[in-house]
Amino acid sequence: MSADAIKRADELLPSNDLLSEQAYLVARGVRPLSVVGSCEAEPLVLLRVATRIELAAGSGAVPFVIDHGDGTASFGYAGSTWALDLYEWANNPTFVPQEQRHRINGLLLGYSVPAISSHEEETSGRRFVGANYAA
């Protein structure tokens, strides 16, 4: 592994204490999933991140690194493989519309239904995307 890739990966990772805390919370059922961070989807960086989060996982939490196919990856801990499968599926824009993606992610991250509803009601009513619609 190149020294540059190790340095980039280590700069992206939170402290071992924070990694352990997030793994503990997931393992104890506080939330189904914790996304601890994101990184570039470069093989050596992904390997370093995976190694570090696996060391901090303890038991009861599934450490993960997911390459999203767009040059980025996310990493963290899941309470089970089905929660990880749902997170991966929900974050594929080919399958899931953005509005539903945010709702699914909110539930997986442990937010309540009222909290997700409140967040949606407080956001803008704009329902369009594109560079042709400048603010």
Lookup: tokens for 17:
């204490």
In this structure, what DSSP letter does residue 31 have?
Answer: -
Average of per-residue pLDDT across 63-89: 94
pTM value is 0.81
Q: Indicate the burial class of 133 (C-beta count within 10 angstroms; 0-12, 13-18, 19 or more).
A: exposed
Decide: 65 and 48 in contact? Cβ < 8 Å. Answer: no
**In which element (H, E) is residue 25 found?**
helix 16-27
Cα of 103 vs its chain's centroid, Å: 14
pLDDT digits (tens, 9 = 90+) for 24-43: 999 999 999 999 999 989 99
Q: Is the domain 3-122 a CATH 3.30.2190.10 member?
A: yes
Share of the chain above pLDDT 90, in %: 47
Average of per-residue pLDDT across 6-22: 86
